[in-house]
């Protein structure tokens, strides 16, 4: 019987992230670890690479996954493994998974079969915590707006016209269309987008919300 993705991921040998960094010429001082298998690279170190020769970029995009899950990530990981196997120094760059789709039909976003990024569970569920930080920061701004309206509303906001939506990284059908503020002015919202979209929502110089969809 063919092994599942999770079985393959859990049985695979895994290197310490500092070993991987050393193979790529990244000094330990530039690696900020999140446990033994995940890390961020110091941005100052990235700036030191500006004078190095430019490498080659292969862009994998616009692939509809097959029923077996062979899509952009699986193809990218498999291509990266293949190039490394033939002696090319190769690094792949993937977006951080959104937690919502991981629990839906789409499933995880760390590849599949023998072409996976591990530890798969950590990457799909929490990774380095950036998504959760974006959620907290975005929803803090929403709470500040509500608090401003509740206590003095010196800017004269109309609660019925607020377009700054809260976000949550979950596919929750009941939150697609919600009404808040039932104890006072009612605010109807078109729904909560999953939080990866929150990083692009901002106020412009005129105080207008941009980046919503």
Beta carbons within 8 Å of 159's beta carbon, 6+ residues apart: 149, 181, 184, 185, 186, 187
Lowest-pLDDT range of 7-16, 39-48, 176-185? 176-185
- Binned at pLDDT 50, 70 and 90, residue 213 comes out as very low
- Binned at pLDDT 50, 70 and 90, residue 79 comes out as very high
DSSP 208: -
The whole-angstrom separation of Cα 47 and Cα 49 is: 5
Within 10 angstroms of residue 201's Cβ, the number of other Cβ atoms is 19
- Per the listing, tokens 């503020």 go with 181
Kindly report the pTM of this predicted structure.
0.73
Lowest-pLDDT range of 61-75, 102-116, 160-174? 61-75
């Amino acid at each position: 019987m063919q092994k599942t993705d999770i079985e393959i991921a859990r049985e695979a040998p895994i290197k310490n992230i500092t070993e991987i960094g050393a193979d790529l010429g990244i000094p330990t001082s530039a690696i900020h670890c999140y446990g033994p298998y995940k890390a961020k690279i110091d941005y100052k170190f990235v700036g030191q690479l500006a004078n190095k020769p430019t490498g080659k970029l292969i862009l994998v995009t616009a692939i509809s996954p097959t029923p077996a899950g062979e899509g952009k990530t699986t193809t990218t990981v498999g291509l990266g493994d293949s190039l490394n196997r033939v002696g090319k120094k190769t690094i792949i760059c993937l977006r951080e998974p959104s937690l919502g789709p991981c629990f839906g039909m789409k499933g995880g976003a760390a590849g599949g079969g023998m072409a996976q990024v591990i530890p798969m569970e950590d990457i799909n569920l929490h990774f380095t915590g950036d998504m959760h930080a974006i959620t907290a920061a975005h929803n803090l701004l929403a709470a500040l707006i509500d608090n401003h309206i509740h206590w003095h509303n010196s800017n004269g906001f109309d609660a019925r016209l607020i377009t700054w939506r809260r976000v949550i990284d979950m596919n929750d059908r009941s939150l697609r269309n919600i009404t808040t503020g039932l104890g006072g002015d009612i605010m109807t919202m078109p729904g909560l987008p999953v939080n990866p979209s929150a990083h692009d929502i901002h106020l412009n110089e005129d105080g207008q919300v941009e980046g919503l969809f």
